[in-house]
Amino acid sequence: MNVDKIKQHFPETNIKVNEPLSHYTYTKTGGPADALIFPKTKEEVQAIIKWLNEEDWPVTILGNASNLIVKDGGIRGATIILTDMNQIVIKDKSIKVLTGAALIEVSKRAYQSGLTGLEFACGIPGSIGGAVYMNAGAYGGEVREVIKQVTVLTRDGRIIERNNDEMDFSYRHSKLQESDEIALEVVFELEEGDKEVIKEKMDELTYLRTSKQPLEYPSCGSVFKRPTGYFTGKLIQDAGLQGLTWGGAQISTKHAGFIVNIDNATATDYIELIEHIKKVILETDGVQLETEVKIIGEDYPALSGAEGSFLKRASNTLKEKLKDKKQKTVIEKS
């Protein structure tokens, strides 16, 4: 893969080489992208995807990297980030928006136009594309309830328009997760509403979010899907894990469903802590937690020699301490 070649082929496109993805992820972690590409239009994305396919490049698509962990080894090939595709057009009760736009901004623009239906999204820190991919939701609302149409790009370069019922929306799921299609544009269909009522609802939800979520630290948002019949944060609290720190990552003392970066955490810190939480909750409660956050990329190359041996011993010591703490918690609960 020749990065210079793609820069020569798309001279007007913003392309960064060997760019640390920690500059873009909400966790402030993640290794470098071989080529990080910032298209501005649907047609530009289509042309880039077709060229990359012809050149046999691996391709990764990112929105604004909010509910995402990129591993410390980074991402090989081409990574396309859509945040420069952010045009919003409002006509009557419809909002047509390119998928790099922030969901929070679209919710705000809806309010300014006196349109109701997106109040629940006023604090969700994701892009429109990511919101469609995950069927993002909060406080009883989901984007599937207000989406009329999604324009997608297939991985072989075809642009297709899909209606809501073709998107297979369900809890934190859409068709895109199986089809690997790329959402390019979304049409929201809202209702006219009272601006004062809309503002009151958004203010209420903003207060709930800021009072309960650890927004003062970098994080990937809610780490786990809510298991049927349980609340993830309470499971983690009851297992005695809240406040547990692994490297620079910590289970938030404010909301146990979040893992925050308190001291230069690595993606490996996050991932190992996630796996530890899953293991403890399965053993103590019999509940298999599923991650809501998406984990992608390459592992950091293993260290060898004295340095690698030291890090392995340190990691094993920490794991033994966590194991002892977990066992003590189980005894106290029983």
List active site positions. Answer: 172, 222, 292
* The total number of residues written for the chain in this structure: 334
Ramachandran bin of 200, using left for φ above 0, alpha for ψ from -120 to 50, beta for the remaining angles: alpha
Nearest to 37 by CA among 304, 28, 46, 307: 46
- C-beta separation of 105 from 302 below 8 A: no
Count other C-beta atoms under 10 Å from residue 172's C-beta.
Answer: 18
CA distances from 325 to 270, 321, 331 (A): 19, 6, 10
Exposure on the CB side of residue 272, measured as CA atoms within 13 A: 19
Structure tokens at 241: 């894990």
Structure tokens at 124: 């969700």
DSSP letter for each residue of 287-331: ----BSSEEES-PPPPP-HHHHHHHHHHHHHHHHHHHHHHHHHHH
